Structure 1
Amino acid sequence: MEITQAPPRDELVRRASELVPLLREKALWMEENRRIHDDVIEAITDAGLLKMRVPVRYGGYESDMGTVVDVLAELGRGDGSTAWTVAVWSISTWMTGLFPDEVQDEVFGTPDVRISGILSPGAVAVPTDGGFVINGRWSFNTGAQQSTWNTNAAVTPTGDGGFAPVMVAVPISDLQIVDDWHTSGLRGSGSITTIAEDVFIPAQRVLQMGPVLQGQHQSKRNADATIYKAPFMPTACATISAPALGLALAAKDAFLERLPGRKITYTSYENQAEAPVTHLEIAEAITNIDEVGFHAHRAANMIDAKGQAGEAWSLEERARVRLDLGAVCQRAKEAVDILHGASGGSSIHRDVPIQRIQRDVQALNLHAILHPKTNLELYGRIVCGLDSNTPFI
């Protein structure tokens, strides 16, 4: 098995930055075709960005969370759907490292394998000889059509009339594809529905969800790896905060690019850049963007610091990452909304990026895990001494 020296953070971020022009060029195509362009996937693969969360023994980088956030944010500057899809692939790749080592050998035996995943338990796994038979469906399955494997949630009977949540690793080829991704935002992510009908899954490809959420796993060879010393939810939440940061930065780029020479119609301002209202709007937006970066990097830095120190996580620390995620999405949307509102009537044309950026960031804010108020409420409950109202923390 190949052992690769991981490139430093600056190098991976540079590679991601160099892809921004390509992502912007293909963004409209990806929106119209509801999937990532093949040229974009090839470029991301060639840049080594799919290796960030792959174990080093399979040629991966085991990049720290700070690197992952910075790389994904750069991709988000180019295209929100691409950043979101690569974020999901990154989480699911990390999740695969929780499975027994023989499962990892099977999955990572394919170089630059793409693994999508769903956390909502949309299927039932019934025990049978040697494993489970699974039936059900998973919606919002980002990038599934362009992936080889799925790490999906299901439930399995406990024998006392109840059900326990599990995570399963299943080849995409074993699932049916329902092409139902017709949405207003993140259209290029291809987050379609997959269906399992009497799919057999060997026992080693099924993990109990409870230990996974607590940061426990079945891999012996990943036991000492720093990136696996963080619990699942903080890891996932920090990862998916990055596309929102990227979209906020993209909105600033898009606004400033169109600003020179624009006037404010029906006013005496022949140059929008000279209007005081523009100064107030861009300054307020940048302030929000700075706050987005603060929260995204605070979560990433805590994950990296605690992983390097091997420290246990408190409930409040876990909830704080959810707080950071909510703040990232809220402030990103506020920044984008300001710049979108200042972009004039011509910005509603499909080839003007700001309208797509606005729809993409709105889609992120509606996601159940990213929803700002839900995350703020959760943290507030913990600080006020109440129990968590969700196991996803």
Structure 2
Amino acid sequence: MGTTTTIPARAELLQRARDLAPVLRRNAEWQEENRRLHDETVEALTAAGILRMRRPHRYGGFESDLRTVVDVLSELGRADGSTAWTAGVWMISSWMAGLFPDEVQDEIFDAPDVRVSGILSPGAIAVPTDGGVILNGKWSFNTGALQSTWNTNAAVLDGPDGPQPVMVALPMADLKIVDDWHTAGLRGSGSVTTIAENLFVPQARVLPMVPILQEGRHASLANADAPIYRVPFMSAACVTVSAPALGLAQGAKEAFLERLPGRKITYTDYANQSEAPITHLQVADATVKIDEAGFHAYRAADLVDAHGEAGEPMTLEERARVRLDLGAVCQRAKEAVDLLNTASGGSSIYTNVPIQRIERDVQTVNLHAIMHPNTNLELYGRLVCGLGPNTLYL
């Protein structure tokens, strides 16, 4: 199923993302209340080609490098964290779909603008049977599932050689949805729970996970020479999810400065908050932290992209450093948002003021198991101190 696609330049994709800001800001409150992306938001992302960025070229995708992904997703995150997060998950899962055998990809990408969501935590058990496996289990935090056609989810294969983690490609129509996404942050991401009950999955849609996570080895022949498919999944995914955190911090600074003119500091002599030295220190300190977050996001992106272009494997230390960079992005982004939120005053708690939503979103990002700063920093420190990694997700 081939197609001819003109691949937009990085600058064009970035401008497309910037042009979406009014739509994303307009729909942000609706998305919070309804706990999923607005149809207009999804249509705008689709029309701009954002969801094609990590799709194989032969299915109309752009095969964008990770520096471009960080550019675009952070720009979306300036306007709305839930939109950036969901778009990032759709990018990761579309990329993951490109690791399956080519005939499976033909099935997944049969529609021109199919959306693929996915979960990396193995929440189900797969039992071998003739021609495939029988799958039972559930996946919580399944971002974008309500508006997706396919899922690429993790499971534990209970085979004769003992349990091993696998990835499975599943039509969303085969899964039961539990609408349980009642949360403090990233409310618009629609990250509901999905359940598989005695679901038969053909063998072609079952992949060993470890070679994909750590080595970039996969079952696709058609994608074998594409730079974006010559890197470990975990490293590529970590770079992708760092971008919404960076965008949230950038958006917090913009939101704070938009409300600053004419604001006073109540119960003080400062008729203009902008004249107070504490405000100058807060804005400058937040700016440094945002810049540091950007450094780590782009350093990781450039490292992974370079290995993809060269077709050279990443070392264990390099893969751990990507996790380190992800933790640093989340940590610095939250610190910046915390500073600006603290400086925003009591009126900022109203739901129509973006900074309160940004604060909740960045807190939620920092609590994500793969993004938690302490976990990522510890992992890198273990390796530097001569210990082995204590996780497969590297």
Matches within 5 A, 1:1-393: 1-160=2-161, 162-213=162-213, 214-393=215-394
Instruction: Tell me the secondary structure at the aligned position of residue 170 of structure 2.
Output: strand
Instruction: Tell me the secondary structure at the aligned position of residue 391 of structure 1.
Output: coil
Quick one: distance in 2 between partners of 1:59 and 1:159?
Answer: 40
Quick one: distance in 1 between partners of 2:4 and 2:298?
Answer: 29
Quick one: distance in 1 between partners of 2:159 and 2:148?
Answer: 31
Q: Which amino acid aligns with 1:176?
A: K
Quick one: distance in 2 between partners of 1:121 and 1:57?
Answer: 30
Quick one: distance in 2 between partners of 1:158 and 1:135?
Answer: 14
The 8 Å contact of residues 170 and 201 in structure 2, kept in 1 or not, is answered as yes
Quick one: distance in 1 between partners of 2:5 and 2:254?
Answer: 35
CA offset at residue 307 of structure 1?
Answer: 1.1
The 8 Å contact of residues 185 and 360 in structure 1, kept in 2 or not, is answered as yes
Q: Which amino acid aligns with 2:29?
A: L
Q: Which amino acid aligns with 1:80?
A: G
CA offset at residue 182 of structure 1?
Answer: 0.2
The 4+ residue runs of structure 1 with deviation greater than 2 A are none
Q: Which amino acid aligns with 1:358?
A: E
Quick one: distance in 1 between partners of 2:210 and 2:341?
Answer: 42
Q: Which amino acid aligns with 2:218?
A: H
Q: Deviations over 1:176-211 (max 9, x none)?
A: 000000000000000000000011111100001122
The 8 Å contact of residues 238 and 299 in structure 1, kept in 2 or not, is answered as yes
CA offset at residue 5 of structure 1?
Answer: 2.0
Quick one: distance in 1 between partners of 2:112 and 2:11?
Answer: 24
Quick one: distance in 1 between partners of 2:272 and 2:216?
Answer: 55
The 8 Å contact of residues 116 and 144 in structure 1, kept in 2 or not, is answered as yes
Quick one: distance in 2 between partners of 1:133 and 1:159?
Answer: 15
Quick one: distance in 2 between partners of 1:388 and 1:128?
Answer: 33
The 8 Å contact of residues 237 and 321 in structure 1, kept in 2 or not, is answered as yes
Instruction: Tell me the secondary structure at the aligned position of residue 293 of structure 2.
Output: helix
CA offset at residue 96 of structure 1?
Answer: 0.5
CA offset at residue 103 of structure 1?
Answer: 0.4
Quick one: distance in 2 between partners of 1:166 and 1:178?
Answer: 23
Quick one: distance in 1 between partners of 2:374 and 2:262?
Answer: 39
The 8 Å contact of residues 128 and 159 in structure 2, kept in 1 or not, is answered as no
The 8 Å contact of residues 3 and 60 in structure 1, kept in 2 or not, is answered as no
The 8 Å contact of residues 30 and 188 in structure 1, kept in 2 or not, is answered as yes
Quick one: distance in 2 between partners of 1:194 and 1:58?
Answer: 27
Quick one: distance in 2 between partners of 1:277 and 1:109?
Answer: 56
Quick one: distance in 2 between partners of 1:225 and 1:3?
Answer: 16
5+ residue gaps, structure 2: none
Q: Which amino acid aligns with 2:176?
A: Q
The 8 Å contact of residues 135 and 197 in structure 1, kept in 2 or not, is answered as yes
**Of 25-34 and 208-217, the range deviating more from structure 2:** 208-217
5+ residue gaps, structure 1: none
Instruction: Tell me the secondary structure at the aligned position of residue 312 of structure 1.
Output: coil
Q: Which amino acid aligns with 2:147?
A: Q
Q: Could you state the TM-score of these two structures normalised by the residue count of structure 2?
A: 0.99
Q: Could you state the TM-score of these two structures normalised by the residue count of structure 1?
A: 0.99
Q: Deviations over 1:104-147 (max 9, x none)?
A: 00001111110000001000111111111101000000010100
The 8 Å contact of residues 127 and 159 in structure 2, kept in 1 or not, is answered as no
CA offset at residue 351 of structure 1?
Answer: 0.7
